[in-house]
Amino acid sequence: MHFHGPIVRPQTDADSVYIEVTVGCTHNSCTFCNFYDGYPFYVAPMEQIRADIQEARESYPRARRIWLNGGNPYAVATDKLIEIASLTREAFPNARVSTYARVDDLTRKSVEEMKAIREAGLDDLVIGFETGDDEALAYVNKGYTAKDIVDGCRKLEAAGMTYRLIFLGGLSGRGKGEAAAKKTADVLNQLHPTILYLNSVSILPGTPLYEDREKGIFQEAGERENVHEFITMLSLLKNDIAVFAAPNTTPFSFYVDLQPNKKKLLDAMQAYADSLDEREEARIAKERSEGRSV
Ligand code: SF4
């Protein structure tokens, strides 16, 4: 197998077979992100992808999940993506085939292209939409708006493609979490993702957001505000959705269907928020900024 950059995937996809399709991310300029520092965007050659799919089939014939690795392989030209999806489906007829997409990848593909890619064998996408707050999206240089999120995901739905969304709390900064939660809920209530992943932003050394915080340009929200952003947003969600949180950037660990468990979940989150004192908030902020579990 060939890998020329980091393997990055959701926690829920850790037991996948990984096939390198791209290295890095086409955008590579969100101000909080250092995932692909030092790895300029590159699309793996077809000979490499073909050889890796063949090797994976021989090594893991019963694999149930395939992760097409890279920052946003959905940016790859539609013809090539169809070929990759077809080869993967042929090698693993019973596996789920997943990958990352950016919102602007959805803008660039038509519903017909999305449908053709799905029919060829790509089953679902994972999209770090981050927030429905346009001001925060612009500030961290995501390169799209809340309307682009809704328009792009609706195209996926029209194409019959399932997708999961990653929320990144705290991006709006101190004092703005409640308003951001309402804007995010407004986006999500127009969509039907299968899973919503909860995360809070980690302000990592070396990133532009870290510099902004050091200069006092960005005021970081505390843990209590981040949890309240989760609570407000989740309380407003109307559609059926599973919610996943893991204790790497949140204090929680759960994977539940939201609607039947909403009250119990929100009560537990509120109890946690009420238990936080300033010392605990400081400890969590420090650990998160060092990229460690909270
Ligand atoms: S789109 Fe994702 S991988 Fe690319 S720079 Fe932004 S956060 Fe990082």
Q: What is the pLDDT of residues 236-251, one digit of tens each?
A: 999 999 999 987 778 8
228 Cβ inside 6 Å of ligand 1:
no
Within this chain, do residues 198 and 222 fall inside the same structural domain, yes or no?
A: yes
Helix %, strand %, coil % for the chain, to 5? 45, 15, 40
Strands of the 96-101 sheet, one edge to the other: 17-20, 65-69, 96-101, 124-130, 162-169, 195-200, 242-245, 254-257
Within this chain, do residues 100 and 161 fall inside the same structural domain, yes or no?
A: no
| Dist CA 35 CA 100 (whole Å) | 13
Within this chain, do residues 96 and 190 fall inside the same structural domain, yes or no?
A: no
Copy the structure tokens of residue 168. 């990144």
Give me the residue label for tokens 């009420």.
274
Mutate to test the pocket of ligand 1, among 7, 9, 25 (most ligand atoms within 8 A of CB): 25
What pLDDT does residue 290 have?
A: 66
Q: Please report the atom of ligand 1 found closest to the CA of residue 29.
A: 5
What residue numbers bound the domain in which 187 lies?
A: 126-294
pLDDT tens for residues 51-72?
Answer: 999 999 999 999 999 999 999 9
Within this chain, do residues 131 and 152 fall inside the same structural domain, yes or no?
A: yes
Copy the structure tokens of residue 159. 């194409």
Tell me, in angstroms, the distance from the centre of ligand 1 to residue 24's CA: 9
Within this chain, do residues 193 and 221 fall inside the same structural domain, yes or no?
A: yes
Tell me, in angstroms, the distance from the centre of ligand 1 to residue 71's CA: 7
Mean pLDDT of 14-24: 95
Within this chain, do residues 77 and 156 fall inside the same structural domain, yes or no?
A: no
Of the pLDDT bands very low, low, confident and very high (cuts 50, 70, 90), residue 293 is very low
Within this chain, do residues 149 and 65 fall inside the same structural domain, yes or no?
A: no
State percent of the chain over pLDDT 70: 98
Q: How many CB atoms lie within 10 A of CB 110?
A: 11
Q: What is the DSSP string of 188-226?
A: HTT---SEEEEEE----TTSHHHHHHHTTSS----HHHH
pLDDT tens for residues 134-178?
Answer: 999 999 999 999 999 999 999 999 999 999 999 999 999 999 999
Which of 175-184, 208-217, 283-292 comes out lowest in average pLDDT?
Answer: 283-292
Within this chain, do residues 273 and 187 fall inside the same structural domain, yes or no?
A: yes
Q: Where are the beta strands (DSSP E) in the chain?
A: 17-20, 22-23, 42-43, 65-69, 96-101, 124-130, 162-169, 195-200, 242-245, 254-257
Question: pTM of the predicted model, to two decimals?
Answer: 0.94
Closest CA to ligand 1's atom 6: 30
**Domains held by the chain: number:** 2
Within this chain, do residues 169 and 278 fall inside the same structural domain, yes or no?
A: yes
